[in-house]
Amino acid sequence: MASDNPLIRDRFVDFLLHDVLDVTSLTRCPHFAEHERETFDLYVAACRRLARSRLFPTYRAMDEAPPRLESGRVIVHAEVKRLFRELVDLGALNATRPTSVGGQQLPMTVAALAHAYLMAGNLSAYGYVGLTTGAAHLIEAFGSDALRSTFMTPMYEGRWSGTMALTEPQAGSSLADVTSSATPTSEGHHLIRGSKIFISGGDHDATENVVHLVLARIDGAPRGTKGISLFAVPRLRLDAGGALVPNDVHVSGVIHKIGWRGLPSVALSLGESNDCHGWLVGPPHQGLRCMFQMMNEARIMVGLNAASTASVAYLESLAYAKERTQGRSITEKDASRPPVALVAHADVRRMLLRQKAIVEGALCVLGAVSRYADLSEHSTDADERARSQKLLDLLTPIAKTFPAEKGFEANTLALQIHGGYGYSSEYLPEAWLRDQKLNSIHEGTTGIQGLDLLGRKVVAGGGNTLALFADEVLADLAEAEGVSGVDVASIATTREALHRLVALTATLAQRGVAGDVEGMMGHSADYLEAFSIVVVAWQWARMWAAAARREEDAFVRGIVRAARYWIATEVPRVLQLAALCEGADRSYLDAREDEL
Ligand SMILES: Cc1cc2nc3c(=O)[nH]c(=O)nc-3n(C[C@H](O)[C@H](O)[C@H](O)COP(=O)(O)OP(=O)(O)OC[C@H]3O[C@@H](n4cnc5c(N)ncnc54)[C@H](O)[C@@H]3O)c2cc1C
């Protein structure tokens, strides 16, 4: 194992933040005006330090000793409590939250790329933080003052942790089928009953209390998504005297997971004794709308989890490929010559360059999407706020799915470069591969993201958002084309793929309007893939232009190499995927159950 694994390349993150995303320009927004480049860089540096000195060294131990259930309580690795405290002290819990709630008011763009180091160091350890931030932020956004002081403050202070408790055994992808119930009482709370499954951070001994943000139906609520409400349901509730007492929340099982083994995911039973108190967050029956705020943040976080997990494995395999010797160059016939390092073989370089293109392309997409999130909330220009919000909504399924799906491929390549050693648990690539797999499943599977993109996002506003997206891409491509050193033919290829994507979208939308829903949606996962390739090519074009403006060195050449590679090898696939979406092949649309 290369113990000095940097997790993510510092020079790349600095380049992304400052050369590509121009993060300091966000300080023009009054909300970020107290910051400057130096404060951004200081936070990134602090995250790097903690990730390398504390999180990464504990990763393997946590993977090897997963949580266990003892007398109804979940016991996690002893390091979790210490790491959680160190992450709280770092300010990771509320880095982006306003100073009024104790936060640092940092742009999400900065926090995202800084926290990527924490995720790359130890995904499970960071998971406790990410979940708690999301839960506290929901209460900050939709809770009353009383709920904020009861639940949000202890979570932002790191005394309590949080979860999102949506999934039920019969309701995973389809939250319309949630059946947990909430009965109003005259005392202001509801009595909650139901079963939740796969709840990450759902019980543990690292914090004093856990607050679940639960989806449930108030008695008599309409069926479907419009009858779902959101509740804060703590493991322990405060009694009249201010003491913490049990709230009838029970762990009915711990999931034995193949990855993320430092973070428990549990089945929860709520209200077995009809004494589980839940407090309504936001208006009744609007729970899913509120939860979507957290889910959109969570989807970007999952994309970051994925890009970070691919990054640490990529850098591990790069170090290995430089260190391990095997065989000779393809032109060397003399067996008495010393063997060469793996990296000397073209096929190993193929695997390394592909990982680099995926990892850095994904991080750039996530940085760009985070920047839209910052501007959508904090720009002083109403038009810019609206435009950024639309682009953020459109790109969220891609920011979640591309890093998860292609990150998994990158993780298999990292393992492959390790040869037989990669297939052994003595080396870390297999652990990262196990971790990575979850990212295409939780927070909406890839299938669900495809349906969201094609069925909702691209048709939103009568195609308005897609037109906005196309304008944004075309403007950046035009700018890149004007920079000396950027290959004009590569930009033309990207532009052609974008036009094909827009035309494809129009064809599919027309089918939908004509009532041929399957003809529109049948290939939605392929559509998502085609869209992702274009988005990543757009970001590589931006990086190419930014790199070409710099003095040439190995780093700059590496950016240019990966940009050229992505556009030359992936972008032509858009044409093939578009033909597939239009019906060039109907194999799986027409396949009958008894043929599979
Ligand atoms: C380790 C782990 C941690 C988790 N953490 C949490 C958590 O903290 N909180 C929480 O609430 N949940 C959590 N989940 C649950 C997770 O979000 C769900 O597993 C996920 O949403 C999928 O639901 P499901 O497992 O019921 O699969 P299903 O919904 O049964 O889906 C199975 C397959 O069918 C496909 N499919 C389903 N419906 C459709 C459709 N309409 N069209 C096309 N394809 C479809 C899916 O894409 C998938 O490939 C976690 C899950 C895991 C494994």
- pLDDT at 233 exceeding the cut of 60: yes
Joined together, the tokens standing for residue 107 give 């742009």
Rounded distance between C-alpha atoms, residue 196 and residue 268, angstroms: 5
Q: What is the mean pLDDT of residues 317-333?
A: 95
Nearest atom in ligand 1 to 257's CA? 1
Q: What is the pLDDT of residues 9-61, one digit of tens each?
A: 999 999 999 999 999 999 999 999 999 999 999 999 999 999 999 999 999 99
Instruction: Give the pLDDT score at 461.
Output: 85
Taking each helix axis as running N to C, give the angle between helix 524-548 and helix 346-378, from 0 to 180 degrees, rounded to the nearest 10.
90
- pLDDT at 296 exceeding the cut of 80: no
Instruction: Give the pLDDT score at 488.
Output: 98
Q: What is the mean pLDDT of residues 587-592?
A: 94
For ligand 1, is residue 341 a contact (CB within 6 Å)?
A: no
What residues does 160 pair with on adjacent strands? 209
Q: How many CA atoms lie within 13 A of 126 on its CB side?
A: 29
> 91 CA to middle of ligand 1, Å?
31
Backbone angles phi, psi at 574, to 5 degrees: -60, -40
pLDDT category at 584 given cuts 50, 70, 90 is confident
> 224 CA to middle of ligand 1, Å?
18
> 299 CA to middle of ligand 1, Å?
13
Q: What is the mean pLDDT of residues 89-93?
A: 97
CA 363, distance to chain mean position in Å, is: 10
| The length of the chain, given as a count of residues | 596
> Catalytic: which of 79, 430, 443, 570?
443
For ligand 1, is residue 164 a contact (CB within 6 Å)?
A: yes
Rounded distance between C-alpha atoms, residue 110 and residue 119, angstroms: 14
What residues contact 20, with CB distance under 8 A and at least 6 apart? 364, 367, 542, 543, 546
Nearest atom in ligand 1 to 169's CA? 26
Rounded distance between C-alpha atoms, residue 244 and residue 237, angstroms: 5
> 173 CA to middle of ligand 1, Å?
5
Rounded distance between C-alpha atoms, residue 123 and residue 188, angstroms: 38
Query: To the nearest 10°, the Cα dihedral for 91, 97, 99, 101?
Result: -90
Instruction: Give the pLDDT score at 359.
Output: 99
Q: What is the mean pLDDT of residues 407-426?
A: 98
> 411 CA to middle of ligand 1, Å?
22
Rounded distance between C-alpha atoms, residue 383 and residue 393, angstroms: 15
The CA distances from residue 117 to 46, 304, 313, in Å, are 10, 10, 13
What residues contact 478, with CB distance under 8 A and at least 6 apart? none
> 501 CA to middle of ligand 1, Å?
28
Q: What SS3 class is residue 232?
A: strand
Q: What is the pLDDT of residues 561-572, one digit of tens each?
A: 999 999 999 999
pLDDT category at 293 given cuts 50, 70, 90 is confident
Nearest atom in ligand 1 to 441's CA? 20
Q: Could you tell me where the DSSP H helices lie in 193-340?
A: 287-323
pLDDT category at 298 given cuts 50, 70, 90 is confident
Q: Which amino acid is at 365?
A: V
Contact 121, 59 (CB under 8 A): yes
Percent of the chain with pLDDT over 70: 99
Q: What is the mean pLDDT of residues 559-582?
A: 98
- pLDDT at 297 exceeding the cut of 90: no
Scan for tokens 């194999």, then name that residue: 587
For ligand 1, is residue 437 a contact (CB within 6 Å)?
A: no
Percent of the chain with pLDDT over 90: 97
Q: Which helix (H) or strand (E) holds 495?
A: helix 488-513
- pLDDT at 471 exceeding the cut of 60: yes
User: Active-site residue 443, yes or no?
Assistant: yes
Give the count of beta carbons closer than 10 Å to the beta carbon of residue 253: 12
Joined together, the tokens standing for residue 442 give 């939780």
For ligand 1, is residue 294 a contact (CB within 6 Å)?
A: no
Contact 209, 234 (CB under 8 A): yes
Rounded distance between C-alpha atoms, residue 85 and residue 157, angstroms: 10
Mutate to test the pocket of ligand 1, among 445, 518, 520, 527 (most ligand atoms within 8 A of CB): 445
Strand 181-184, strand 249-254: pairing: unpaired
Contact 63, 57 (CB under 8 A): no
Mutate to test the pocket of ligand 1, among 161, 173, 588 (most ligand atoms within 8 A of CB): 173
Q: What is the mean pLDDT of residues 130-143?
A: 96
Instruction: Give the pLDDT score at 3.
Output: 61
DSSP letters of 333-379? --TTSPPPBGGGSHHHHHHHHHHHHHHHHHHHHHHHHHHHHHHHHH-
What mean pLDDT, rounded, does the chain reach? 97
- pLDDT at 2 exceeding the cut of 60: no
Q: Which amino acid is at 341?
A: A
Rounded distance between C-alpha atoms, residue 149 and residue 9, angstroms: 40
Backbone angles phi, psi at 450, to 5 degrees: -65, -45
Q: What is the pLDDT of residues 343-357, one digit of tens each?
A: 999 999 999 999 999
Q: What is the pLDDT of residues 68-79, one digit of tens each?
A: 999 999 999 999
Rounded distance between C-alpha atoms, residue 250 and residue 199, angstroms: 12
Instruction: Give the pLDDT score at 8.
Output: 98
Q: What is the pLDDT of residues 164-175, one digit of tens each?
A: 999 999 999 999
The CA distances from residue 509 to 516, 578, 584, in Å, are 9, 13, 17
Q: What is the pLDDT of residues 302-318, one digit of tens each?
A: 999 999 999 999 999 99
For ligand 1, is residue 441 a contact (CB within 6 Å)?
A: yes
What residues contact 343, with CB distance under 8 A and at least 6 apart? 318, 321, 322, 349, 352
Q: What does pTM read for this prediction? A: 0.98
